[in-house]
Structure 1
Amino acid sequence: MRIDARERLRVVAGATAGLLLTALLTELLSRHAPGVPWLVAPLGASAVLVFGVPASPLAQPWAVVMGNTASALVGVACVHLFGGVPELAAAVAVGTSIGVMFLLRCLHPPGGAAALLMVLAGVRDWEFALDPVLLNSLLMVAAGMVYNSMTGRRYPHPQVAAPPTPAATARPGPGAAPAFSGADLETVLAHYNQVIDVPEDDLRAIVDQAGLLAARRRLTTLRCADVMSRDVKVVEWGTPLQEAWMLLREHHVKALPVVDRARRVVGIVTLADFMRGAALDVHAEWPARLRRLLQPTPSTRSDKAEVVGQIMSRQVRVASADRPLADLVPMFAATGHHHIPIVGDEARLVGILTQSDLVAALARVDGL
């Protein structure tokens, strides 16, 4: 069991305190006759469940109280019916108690022991199922509620089905585990068709967390070179503005790295740079201003920008091809970057990473 020493101590202390409290209060409240047990042995197994696995469906108050009590009644009935053949009475008592617990939705393993105890002890008094079995079970549950709450464990742990996931929100976010609805989980569990000693909400949370860790691990193994666009359209410092604009329009891109003759990045020109160059923040006659910016000036002197180097952004963030993709996610998410040139050996341009490339990579990580 992969739990730390603190949790083990919590369980041991809880079971000890819970059983002690149950024994003391039963001794005070019980009206048992002399020589009649006032504490039943199956309660020890109930304590393991209530304090050791308080989230388990088998440890919930209804399961503990009704599982033990109904099984004790079944055991007493089998003593009356098959008392002359104790072997038959024992087998029928345990089997029937399991069936009754399934029927009442209160499956509790110590219930089988409670039924067997009635047969082995030859109990014929129906009140024994109420005092001490029912009384013991109620006190144990009360102790579990108090102790588990004090030590940070939810008890009772309601078995609430997850709400259906709307189609519009079923898609997971970047890096998240693949989403599934409560109905999906119920379908799988129905097909599995076995008792699982984990509540459905905890099972869903465990699967979600495992999927999230797996997605993060896969994301850290991806490098920029794995997802970048390699067919990069580039311009140089002296590329005419009209030529650069046509490249943006023809190839449906929003940025062009500016490189020198050694293919090292010296800047980047984007649609925003063209907008600033044409003062497009002033809406009046902006088509005319854009045409004027793009139109080459025939004379040797000009009062406007003529080449890419005059409007490009010189402060460019670049990343190496072998850099983990996960390092660049915050850059796209928080700093407003839309395009990051990727460089290889000797800082030469080998590709470009766009928001679209990042989204596609995250989608593959998430298994969409």
Structure 2
Amino acid sequence: MPEPIGSPRHDGRILRFRLFRPILAGATLRERLIACLGAMVGIALTGLICGCFFGEGPHIPLIVAPMGASAVLLFAVPASPLAQPWPIIGGNTISAIVGVIAAHLIPDPVLAIGVGVSLAIAAMSLTRSLHPPGGAAALTALIGGPAVTSSGYLFPFFPVCINSIILVALGIAFHKLSRRNYPHVPVMAPVNTHGTADLPAPIRVGFKPEDVDAALVALDETLDIDRSDLDRLLRQVELHALVRTQGNLTCREAMSRDVITIRSDETVERARELLLAHNIRTLPVVDAAGRLIGALGLRELALQGSDSIGEAMSKARTAGPDDPAVGLVPMLTDGRTHAIIITAADRTILGIITQTDLLATLARSASAKAFGLPTEMAA
């Protein structure tokens, strides 16, 4: 029996859930553990490298406190625009320069710290290097004590800039080893591959970029996510909602099973004959055992100008028989892909879904729902 709402045990479960719930969207325990390991390695090696190459002088620290905050961003939220290489290096260095200038020009320490941090934010904003630890770098230049003030204008370059460069280099290496995307490159919006003025098919229906901009204005908040990443996230939400509502139709139900294929050792002329004779746009290429190794179309034949199918073929787009058929919509509307090849685990071909197959399946599904029939009858 479930615990009644308001009972101590029920309230305790809610409290534990709130305590351990990730504060960032998409965060997992595995990601946080990787971030902890990365920060440990990054900070320790940054201090070690600076000590080995530059030595610990009597007036200049090996590593400054803002590097700890930079490590949080670099390893815990590597996709954030605030955690990219230029914001880390430029933001920390520029802010430290601003802090040193404020310390030399403003005799009142209280006024100096306020002006220094505020001008650091302005400088980072103008140079597109906004980085939260930069505020701490400016503050350190102002109140860092004799070890900082005695180094004067050297402080922004060593240790701040050197620390930042080493930390970013270690971060790039660590993320590469852990197979994470860093530096983060936002995915570009779809483009029209046909050279016409029409919007690309994936963004022709539904919300438009200006809708996202209008929503951001209405929220009147600054979000720590790249504008293009936000657009991609919303389109992924649309896809998952479509799969949830139409996900009972699988690729197995929608696919064509009598697939025309060609072996890799056959001729290009034979491939052209098959494409034209069967009025198809994608020809799966198989090896001697019948396993899929690529795909071929008239476009590949025209562009490559090769007599070898192996040289002319492109990478095949594939899916599994039990995958939701509507999940293929983004691939089949990208302007380049005309068919998805359905394969088993061993790459043997089970069927193929063309743009026509998917459109007909979705149309039948919509008709079945309109007349109140079971969706399975439409497949």
The TM-score with structure 1 as length reference comes to 0.56
Q: Secondary structure at the match of 1:144?
A: helix
In the TM superposition, 1:188-203 aligns within 5 A as: 189=216, 194-203=221-230
Query: Larger relative CO (CA 8 A, sep 6+): 1 or 2?
Result: 1
Q: C-alpha displacement at 1:120, in angstroms?
A: 0.9
Partner Cα separation in structure 2 for residue 360 and residue 169 of structure 1? 29
Of the three residues 54, 76, 100, the one matched with 2:123 is: 100
- Give the Å deviation of 1:358: 6.0
Aligned partner of 2:154 among 127, 150, 166: 127
Partner residue of 2:40 out of 16, 30, 38? 16
What is the rounded CA distance, in whole Å, between the counterparts of 1:337 and 1:49 in structure 2? 43
Which structure would you say has the larger Rg?
1
Unaligned runs of 5+ in 2: 1-21, 250-325, 327-352, 372-379
The answer to whether structure 1 residue 55 and structure 2 residue 74 are counterparts is no
- 1:39 Cα shift? 0.5
Contact 2:85 2:183 in 1 (8 A): yes
Please state whether the residue corresponding to 1:167 is helix, strand or coil: coil
Superposed, 1:323-334 pairs within 5 Å as none
Q: Secondary structure at the match of 2:34?
A: helix
CA contact (8 A) 1:338 1:355 kept: no
Aligned to 2:92: 68
Contact 1:32 1:132 in 2 (8 A): no
Q: Measure, in 2, the Cα distance between the counterparts of 1:220 and 1:129.
A: 56
* 1:89 lines up with 2:112 in the alignment: yes
Structure-2 separation of matches of 1:197 and 1:164: 25
Letter in 1 for 2:103: V
1:36 aligns with: 60
Q: How far apart are 1:108 and its partner, in Å?
A: 0.1
1:145 aligns with 2:172: yes
1:313 corresponds in structure 2 to none
Unaligned 5+ segments in structure 1 are 223-325, 327-332, 341-352, 362-368
Equivalent residue number for residue 234 of structure 2: 207
Distance in 2, Cα, partners of 1:354 & 1:163: 28
Cα displacement (A) at 1:201: 3.5
8 Å contact 1:30–1:132 — kept in the other structure? no
CA deviations on 1:42-61 (whole Å, 9 max, x unpaired) are: 00000000011111100000
**In structure 1, how many angstroms separate the alpha carbons of the residues matched to 2:200 and 2:369?**
17
Shift of 1:195: 3.3
AA of the residue aligned to 1:80: H
- Matched ranges for 1:266-345 at <5 A: none
Amino acid in structure 1 at the alignment position of 2:119 = T
207 and 356 in structure 1: CA distance in 2 versus 1, 3 angstrom threshold: closer
Deviation per CA, 1:62-118: give whole Å up to 9, x if none.
000000000000010111011x31111111111000000000000000000000111
Deviation at 1:215, TM superposition (A): 2.1
1:137 & 1:203 partners in 2: Cα distance? 28
CA distance in 2, matches of 1:113, 1:356: 57
Counterpart CA distance in 1 for 2:232 and 2:167 is 28
May I ask how many residue pairs the two structures share in their alignment?
A: 240
Q: Distance in 1 between matches of 2:246 and 2:144?
A: 62
Kindly report which structure 2 residues correspond to 1:343-362, keeping only aligned pairs within 5 A, or say none: 357=367
Give the AA of the match of 1:214.
A
Q: Which residue of 1 aligns with 2:314?
A: none
Equivalent residue of 2:78, what SS? coil
- What SS does the corresponding residue of 1:111 show, helix, strand or coil? helix
Structure-2-length-normalised TM-score: 0.54
